[in-house]
Structure 1
Amino acid sequence: MNPVLLVLMMIGIGALIGGLTNSLAIKMLFRPYRALYIKNFRLPFTPGLIPKRQKELARQLGRMVVEHLLTAEGLRRKLERPAFQTQMTEWAQEEIEKILNHPATLKEMLEELDLDMNTIHLEQSISSWVENRYHSVMDNYRDETLENLLSHEWKEKIEVGADQLADHIQEQVTLYFQSPEGRYKVTALIDNYLDNQGFLGNMISSFMGPDGITERIYPAIIRYVSDKEMTYWLRGMLQSELQRAMNQPVGFYEDKIGRDAVGHTLGQAVAKALPLEEWLQKTVAEWSRPYQNKILQEFVPLLVKKASVLLSGKIESMMESMHLSEIVKEEVEAFQVDRLEEMVLGISRREFKMITYLGALLGGLIGLLQGLIVLFLG
């Protein structure tokens, strides 16, 4: 045979063998997808390397992700970076601003959340809440006296108020008796008294006359009701009554009115006093407009910062509770091999072709070497 033709034939055979071998090796990474059997005998090298080792690969990937890629320390550094916090703050501001500027009314927003809120229902809920809250608070204070509940400042104000009330009563009584109506009342009382005293009353009335008695008694009454002694007496009486009232437990006054009546009336009053219908018809934008700047510029950045600190301290426990390695393992195990093959070949198809060509090149070089050896030895 022609030596040149022999060498070329051996180069071609070597290149074909090298290329086919590398191409087959690449194919055997993924194929066949399942084990092939002839009766009970499983053909060697089936399934392919990756399908055969998929569970082990999934377990190793799960460990690698948790231990080397998605680590708690790496996530903490990411959360604590100023650039990340700025980015999160801007995103949160944009999203919250959309919510704050929502054109829907509060009633419509509640209906979207499947919450049937009307004025009657809200009034009943508020009334019931206030009533229950009143009783829960009063359970702690019914046995306490007013004196124990009131602060020193308030007790001083009440005592001063009692003295002022006594002075006001005395002033009004004095003004009444000094008025023509008061003078007429004193005269009528004297006449009525004398008429009920029989002979003695008639004798005194005829001797002095009703006007004479009034002229003698009326100035004394005016002096008495305006005297300092009356002031001290009124103040002392009111202070005594006040002290008696302060020593009574709160439940004493509540029972006088009725516990249920107080709670029910208070709840109804609060519910009726609130403009619920007006509130329900206001849009979210109207509700939030006075507070938007403060929410967006102060509250949101603070919330993002606090959330970052909270998440940073809870990353380890969160990752443990999420079982990330198990998630990765399950996802890799469930991943279709044909899709994995398509994805890997789509990314590395050119490199695999180069490997095939490299095998052909190496096979050709080996064939050339073999041909030269045959020629020299032949």
Structure 2
Amino acid sequence: MNWNFLLGPLVGAIIGYITNGIAIKMLFRPLNPITIGGYTLPFTPGVIPKEKKRLAKSIGRVVSRELLNEEVFRKALLKPEIYERLEEKVDYYIDTYQANDKKLGEIGNEFLGKERAIFLLCEAEENATSLIYTKVVNMEIGKIIVDKLIGTLKGGALSHLLGPMSFLVKDQMLDSLGDKIEPAISQMIVDEAEGIIRQAVEEESNNLKETSVGDWVTKLDPYRDIIKKVVIKSYEGLVRNGLSTALEKLDLAQMIEERIMAFDTLEMENLILEIMNKELNRLVWLGALLGGIMGCVMSFF
């Protein structure tokens, strides 16, 4: 047997195996630059430690632009499966809370604390009273009442009240009467309406506090399909109109870059080796194979 013929491929395979193994190691090692007399040795530190910041920035930019961009998020968030899950959640919460006997007031006290709940309820009552009162005053109800009353009297109601004597009352007299009583009615509304509205609001507020969650949710049950449509429409609008702003504020590229930079280089090496161990080993053995092939070729010369 010609051992010289085998020696070339064997040496080539060993050299290929070793060089590829060293090349892979040099991706991470050495972890820190090696200096001799103020001179930094070439290829130190390894490629990834040396270019970590640039790599982190590039990876963050590529991932945010190509892999996890706005369009990808939008498609994922607007899949039919998401809509189905939202409808299921609406059904789940309505069905679950219909059996809840807790009073709304009790739940408010649990979540907010009694003092805070009372404060917020009083504030809500005051705001509701103020809003309704302002609307009532601005509606000029006194004028509406008087105009309606005078119109009704002119339309024939006066003859039923006064009988044959109604011919004595002219339209001008009714208009003059309306002009006189309208300010009084309007002022009475300004003076009295706020107290009446406040009392009504407080009564409704107390009734609401004593209503159980189940009773309140049961009232919503007939509108279950409408609630689903509102929830889905709101969710869809949020995704379509708010996703761009959310991603801009999130700054995914910067987040990825910071996360990569936070990785310890040794920890990153272990992670990559754990993920790509088989592939990297194949590269090492591929180097041995190519070295062996080159050795065979050289043996013929």
TM-score category (smaller protein):
0.7 to 0.9
Q: Give 2:40's aligned residue.
A: 42
Is contact 2:133–2:197 with CA below 8 Å preserved after alignment? no
TM-score (norm. length: structure 2): 0.76
Query: How far, CA to CA, are the matches of 2:142 and 2:210 in structure 1?
Result: 43
Q: Give 1:116's aligned residue.
A: 114
Aligned pairs for 1:1-378 (under 5 A) are 4-38=2-36, 40-78=38-76, 84=79, 86-100=80-94, 101-102=96-97, 103=100, 104-116=102-114, 124-125=122-123, 128-133=126-131, 135-137=133-135, 140=138, 146-147=142-143, 149-150=144-145, 155-157=150-152, 163=158, 166-167=161-162, 228-229=164-165, 232=167, 239=174, 242-248=177-183, 251-254=186-189, 259=191, 262-271=193-202, 273-274=203-204, 276=206, 279-295=208-224, 297-373=225-301
Question: What's the CA shift for 1:315?
Answer: 4.3
Structure 1 pair 20/155, CA: closer, same or farther in 2 (3 Å)?
farther
1:248 partner SS: helix
Structure 1 pair 165/35, CA: closer, same or farther in 2 (3 Å)?
farther
Question: What's the CA shift for 1:25?
Answer: 0.8
Question: What's the CA shift for 1:118?
Answer: 9.8
Is contact 2:147–2:178 with CA below 8 Å preserved after alignment? no
Structure 2: which 5+ residue stretches go unaligned?
Answer: none
Is contact 2:150–2:178 with CA below 8 Å preserved after alignment? no
* Larger CA Rg, structure 1 vs 2: 1
Query: How far, CA to CA, are the matches of 1:76 and 1:12 in structure 2?
Result: 56
Deviation string for 1:39-87 (max 9, x for gaps)?
A: 533232122212222221222223223332333344455556xxx1x31
Question: What's the CA shift for 1:108?
Answer: 3.7
Structure 1: which 5+ residue stretches go unaligned?
Answer: 168-226, 374-378
Deviation string for 1:225-248 (max 9, x for gaps)?
A: xx834x555898994784244442
Aligned residues: 297
Query: How far, CA to CA, are the matches of 1:365 and 1:96 in structure 2?
Result: 67
Query: How far, CA to CA, are the matches of 1:36 and 1:164 in structure 2?
Result: 114
Is contact 1:15–1:361 with CA below 8 Å preserved after alignment? yes
Is contact 2:142–2:185 with CA below 8 Å preserved after alignment? yes
